[in-house]
Structure 1
């Protein structure tokens, strides 16, 4: 079994350099929900030097709330928001002789797109109009996957090591107890169980069949590096090959 490990980076928090020694894909903030142009460029170069694939990680223009507050934007506004961030990330990468490999939505925009295939399709179409060869990271078994499939896009099914799941494969709202997991060993055991089952295991115990290509760890949590290392160690010991998409 082969698996990619990814983490969100370039947000001005967390230990990106340490995570880059563990993960195989870096989802790099495009500068609106957090970070900066300088941070985006710095982390892209660090990732490339570590042999880690780089991707655009756009969200709402909502620095005050780290992109985690839902917004009601029009289709055109969403298209412009995604095109602008994807284009900016692509330009920064090209200026350093690098290439974007994948695309992954951030925060509230990602959560909304996991429930709304039309919104997800708008986001992905906007990104692909700028960079047609991007691989889309989707929240597995959600409306995001439905949208990527409808577009005929290359996609990778993603699950989260540090987040709990609802019965429809969407993430438990961060405001609810137990939504974010903090025990590295427990998270690693949980991911291994999902891989072995070929399914997302919801908080209720329900199993939702899913294609699992990549596992995400949030780079902004205090235990991100510890969890990433525990996960990689546990998976490798179980015979899972950790490799880029």
Structure 2
């Protein structure tokens, strides 16, 4: 039969039952194929559903671990707060700039501060700017330590007026290894030390070190 030949109206209606059967057959095949598609559909959906809780669980688990150290760090930092009038900064190394240390020590910088090592497991409020050879240093001491130094027969304690509530130049009997101790307005005691050159001939620098210590002690007594 030539498919290009005209189709009469009678033959057109005669084809409808055949077309209907073909449609049913196609629908059956589609239904059968759809079952296969439906069976394969759940794994992606199930995979997607399973991945959502997996993504949520790490988020919920990670959040407390991030928050806990922050809270601990804050609680640990609290004891370093000033015990007196609250004027003293928590970080002693913020008290002096590198140019100020250069002027006091007389050695080219830049100088960055380092904190003193803990004593008996406790942090010590203080800072050292410089190197092992030349440095400026401040640290919190105690009234009992100052009293012991003043009573030491191998040392001399000379009052230094105009610094804090009271201040003393503590040095050996021969005038070497000077340090200035001052009592702040809140009653805390601090030591200020300047070393221009820790070497065999450092003793000749004692007068200059005393002048630098007195100047720094005056400056620092107004900042703590």
Short-chain TM bin? under 0.3
Give the TM-score of the pair, scaled to structure 2. 0.26
Of structures 1 and 2, the larger Rg is shown by 2
Higher helix share: 2
- Which of 1 and 2 has higher RCO (CA within 8 Å, sep 6+)? 1
Q: TM-score w.r.t. structure 1 length?
A: 0.24
